[in-house]
Structure 1
Amino acid sequence: MVKIIATFFFILFVSFNCYSQNSYVFVGSYNSDKNKEGIYVFQLDTLTGNLKKITTVKNILNPSYLTVSPNGKYVFACTETRTPNAGSVSSFEFKPKNKMLTFINSQKSGGENPVYLSVHKNGKWLVNANYTQGSVSVYPITAAGKINPIVQNFSYSEGSINKERQERSHVHSAVFSPNYDFIFLPDLGADKIRSYRFDSAKEQPLSENQYPFTQATLGSGPRHFTFHPDGKFAYCVEEISGTISVYAYGNGKLDPIQRINTHTDALKEGFSSGDIHISPDGRFLYASNRGEENNIAIFSIESNGTLKTVGYQSTFGKTPRIFTIDSTGKFLIAANQTSGNVVVFKRNLVTGLLKKSGTEINVENASCVQIKHYRN
């Protein structure tokens, strides 16, 4: 019996150790110079929270947003962001065994300043949101990770009431519905969440939705968007007003049910909400506040989908543009753009609260962070 128990714990230790060494963190940045490192890859120790740099990529300009393919083989990046008369999306192959990230190809973004990418669950489609010119582009992806030319591109022009920030459309993200049969496009400039049907079997997958947009509160500036794991609720963080709008969701339709502040009561102006994610168990929602507060707002999610404020956690840096939660729900990692540091937090699975963990990594102008776990 003693030998059996010892063997069990040995196997458990080996399994945890292997898992801890097969978790990778991808960080994008505004490098402003192709000769500087643009994408960084770290190995995450899931026992300690430490990050160890394993490789970087140069010869690309401003890879500001990254996403990883469902199978983990490919990393896609918004490139040439914040670059006048430019804009592209790029593909890279990642090989965890030899710890290499290798460039595959690029395509034009179909609009200036690409800021967000989503990959269909079948790995065959890439959707890009362009901020400055307010447009969305759709690309086929080959089995080898190559991005083919744009097959659809829709652009928008109308703005909203804030003449400084909303002079025209600014599409800030592109998010698939839980069943991948719709795509949602928060438009900061127009105060709308646009939507299309998505049929992955068609050569041009986007088609008109019965509900082409959901009207957000005027002057709110919809930015990033996420769905609850149960598929019944959706949440949109609004940059300009520092709020989250909660929606009941069904078959391409969003119905508003709550609106709540992301910032503390002490902040009266200068809101700049950033990113939004839900824990894998669906119990907690997190949203980043930039500007004056530089924190992560923590909310519990009630059974009816509404939010209740739990607390706030400093990101120990300035401008947490993007953060991510790993698939186990154990870690939250924040990329602080202005201060140029990436900070790992361990999540309390019961309370939802965060605690700084492991080593802090310096990445100049860090703008995006993604986590992917790989099997041996």
Structure 2
Amino acid sequence: MKKLMLLPVMLLAAGVFAQKKDNTPKTYDLIIGGYTTGTNKGISVFRFYTETGRTAYLTQVEGIDNPSYLCISKNNKFVYSVNEVGNDRKGSVTAFSFEPKVGTIAVINKQPTTGAGPCYISVDKAQKHVFVANYAGGSLSVLPVAKDGSLMPVVQTIQDEGHGPNKDRQEKPHVHTAVLSPDEKYLLYTDLGTDKLNFYRYKPGADQPLVAADPSSLSVVGGHGPRHIDFTPDKKYMYLITEMGGVIYVYDYDGPKSKQLEAISLVADGFKGAVGAADIHVSPDGKFLYATNRGDANEIVVFSINPDNGRLTFVERKSSMGKTPRNFVIDPTGGYLLVANQNSDDIYVYRINKQTGKLTLTNSKINFGNPSCLKFTAAE
């Protein structure tokens, strides 16, 4: 009798498990930003189907100057974009309302960044502040976020000083990225011009929320030019890609006290062309790392990650099928990688082998003018 009583309970548990599994999103919104110097007129939204890797156009918002980098609020209701214009102090950022179920996007407001050439933007999980890297101005800007998603004026600006050994590219500071640590205790930003990764403590309730950490920075080899960073899902390891050096620095992550474990080159042995390393991402399962190299290589480089020490092992290099693979994104299920080729006006979709990390080109492609940023958010 007791055995018979267990059967409904087991079936109920199995049903609950199946229900949870079925709730995993199968469709996502792919939001695309880029430069508006060619055929692109703003930001576009596509639907992405994880079971097939296919995409479908949904909508576009026009009249946005060079929305070259985007971020999405944690609640999926707002999108924020830089307006990367000018070498003077004309840079700005724009806030948008977003409806993920239908993919509609609309402008809320716009604010100046007080810095030139903003190229990167991020937002904290609580939606208190956005952080903007002003590349041409060599500064970092902090703007509060209102409850309605709109942006308020800049409350803090951090101006970097110094230069690097490359007189053509490092004549002054060039802040390139602004990323919160996984626990959001720190704001990390790279400075391509001074070869530093900088750390500031983040205090969201303060009038000026960023305070320099101690130590305040990590340095790379002179002339390498730090660009983007990413972390493993378990938060143990951090990876920093350098644009001019074409090198990935691997760190045992501990905030500003992080220890370098190794530095590994993206560049193939014997390669003599121009190097322009760009983007870097860890797969959702933490097993693989992907990076793009522009210049004359135009390729995606794949590494496996040693789970015991975070070190990298080369797997393969794959053509991006276009020119200048500036940015790429891995879908949240880890099944596909999409790469944006800025100077050939196209986005290609690759299937990821989850056992080997290797990429296989699919038949899915998006034609888009000067794409430079791809972001996913759940559509369900």
Letter in 2 for 1:274: A
Distance 2:340 2:87 in 1: 21
Distance 1:241 1:96 in 2: 39
Equivalent position to 2:105, from 97, 101, 104: 101
Give the drift of 1:226. Answer: 1.2
Letter in 2 for 1:65: Y
Distance 2:184 2:25 in 1: 29
Give the drift of 1:37. Answer: 1.9
Counterparts in 2 of 1:295 and 1:110: CA distance versus 1, 3 Å? same
The SS at the match of 1:173 is strand
Q: Indicate if the aligned counterparts of 1:140 and 1:150 stay in contact, CA closer than 8 A.
A: yes
Give the drift of 1:75. Answer: 0.9
Distance 1:321 1:82 in 2: 20
Counterparts in 2 of 1:205 and 1:265: CA distance versus 1, 3 Å? same
Equivalent position to 1:267, from 271, 275, 283: 271
Distance 2:339 2:86 in 1: 22
Q: Indicate if the aligned counterparts of 1:63 and 1:81 stay in contact, CA closer than 8 A.
A: no
Give the drift of 1:142. Answer: 1.6
Counterparts in 2 of 1:178 and 1:36: CA distance versus 1, 3 Å? closer
Superposed CA RMSD: 2.1
Distance 2:76 2:270 in 1: 42
The aligned residue for residue 342 of structure 1 is: 347
Counterparts in 2 of 1:83 and 1:344: CA distance versus 1, 3 Å? farther
The aligned residue for residue 244 of structure 1 is: 248
Give the drift of 1:24. Answer: 0.7
Q: TM-score, length-normalised on structure 2? A: 0.91
Letter in 1 for 2:375: Q
Distance 2:89 2:64 in 1: 16
Equivalent position to 2:333, from 312, 328, 334: 328
The aligned residue for residue 201 of structure 1 is: 205
Give the drift of 1:96. Answer: 2.5
Give the drift of 1:83. Answer: 6.0
Distance 1:170 1:75 in 2: 25
Give every structure 1 segment of 4 or more consecutive aligned residues whose post-TM-superposition deviation is greater than 4 Å: 82-85
Distance 1:247 1:79 in 2: 32
The SS at the match of 1:250 is coil
Q: Indicate if the aligned counterparts of 1:38 and 1:56 stay in contact, CA closer than 8 A.
A: yes
Give CA deviations for 1:147-192 in whole Å, capped at 9, x if unaligned.
1111110111211100011000001101111110001111110001
Higher Cα Rg, which structure: 2
Distance 1:293 1:178 in 2: 32
Give CA deviations for 1:290-347 in whole Å, capped at 9, x if unaligned.
0111111101111201111111111111111011112221121111000010111121
Distance 1:134 1:240 in 2: 17
Give CA deviations for 1:196-252 in whole Å, capped at 9, x if unaligned.
011122222101201111111111000001122221211110000111111111143
Letter in 2 for 1:334: V
Q: Indicate if the aligned counterparts of 1:51 and 1:358 stay in contact, CA closer than 8 A.
A: no
The aligned residue for residue 280 of structure 1 is: 284
Q: Indicate if the aligned counterparts of 1:326 and 1:372 stay in contact, CA closer than 8 A.
A: no
Distance 1:246 1:345 in 2: 25
Q: Indicate if the aligned counterparts of 2:100 and 2:378 stay in contact, CA closer than 8 A.
A: no
Distance 1:284 1:180 in 2: 24
Q: Indicate if the aligned counterparts of 1:185 and 1:194 stay in contact, CA closer than 8 A.
A: yes
Identity of aligned residues (%): 39
The aligned residue for residue 37 of structure 2 is: 32
Equivalent position to 1:299, from 292, 297, 303: 303
The aligned residue for residue 4 of structure 2 is: none
State the number of aligned residues.
365
Q: Indicate if the aligned counterparts of 2:90 and 2:114 stay in contact, CA closer than 8 A.
A: no
Please give the residue correspondences for 1:225-244 in structure 2 after superposition, counting only pairs within 5 Å.
Answer: 225-244=229-248
Are 2:77 and 1:73 equivalent residues in the alignment?
yes
Letter in 1 for 2:360: K
Please give the residue correspondences for 1:104-119 in structure 2 after superposition, counting only pairs within 5 Å.
Answer: 104-119=108-123
